[in-house]
Amino acid sequence: MLLKNILNLFFYRLNRRSMYNYDGSVPEFSNFVEIQDNSQLHDEKLRFWESIKNDSWCFKDEIIKNCIHTTELLAKSILTFLKQSFELQEKIKLNQNLETRLVLHPFAVGITSKSSYTFNLCKAYYLNQYDLNCVMFENTSNMKRVSRKEYEFTSYKTFTEPDADYVTAFNTPTGQQRFGHYDVDLYSPKLKKVIQFYG
C-alpha cells in the first residue's frame, strides 16, 4: 500500500486563511483528490476518508499532526538514504580491495545534487586510480576553455620536449601561465619561451 504507514492525510486544498479556525465534520472527499493521483492512490485515499468521515475534524490539530508526520517521514527517508549510501561504499571498497575507513558523505561540502554525489563517488573509488584528463579544476573558477586541437598540440609539445618543462592548462594545479590578464597555451620557465596554438 502506498499509504501503509501514513498517520493521517491533510486536506491541502483547505490550507487557506478562512479555514484556520475550522472545527467541525470531516470535509468532503473531493478536497483529498489531487490531479497527479493515480487510481491506486485515489482508492486508498477514499478508504482512508471513509474510515474517518464520521469523526470531527479540527484544522489546527490536523495540520500539526500532518507536520509531525511529514517531518518524521523526511527524517526516516534521509537516514535510510545515508545508510544505503554508506553500505554501497562498503561494497565498493570490498569489490575494489580498498583498505580505508574513509567514506564520502552525501551531504558533504561541494556535493549539491544526486548527480554530483554520483560523480564524486565514481571519482573517489574509480577515477582516482587513473591518470585522466577530464574536468579541469572543477572546484575553482581558474579555468580557460581549451579545444581538442589545442590539447593535442600542448600534449605533443610536452611529450616531445620534456626538458622544456612546459606549463599548460592540463599539467599544473593552477592552469595556464598568466601574464597580467593574458593566458598563454604553453610556457617554459626554463627556456623563458611562450608558444600559442594559434600563433
pLDDT digits (tens, 9 = 90+) for 81-119: 999 999 999 999 989 888 888 888 999 888 888 898 998
On average, the pLDDT of the chain sits at 82
Is the Cβ–Cβ distance between 33 and 11 less than 8 Å? no
Q: What is the pLDDT of residue 85?
A: 93
pLDDT over 50 at 194, yes or no: yes
Each residue's pLDDT tens digit, 31-67:
888 888 889 888 888 888 888 888 898 989 988 888 8
The pTM for the full model equals: 0.53
Q: Are residues 193 and 187 in contact, defined by beta-carbon separation less than 8 angstroms?
A: yes
Each domain of the chain, given as residue ranges in start order, spans 12-74, 78-129, 148-195
Confidence label for 133 from pLDDT (cuts 50, 70 and 90): low
Residue at grid coordinates 491541502? 12
Pairing of strands 186-188, 193-195: antiparallel
pLDDT tops 50 at residue 2 = no
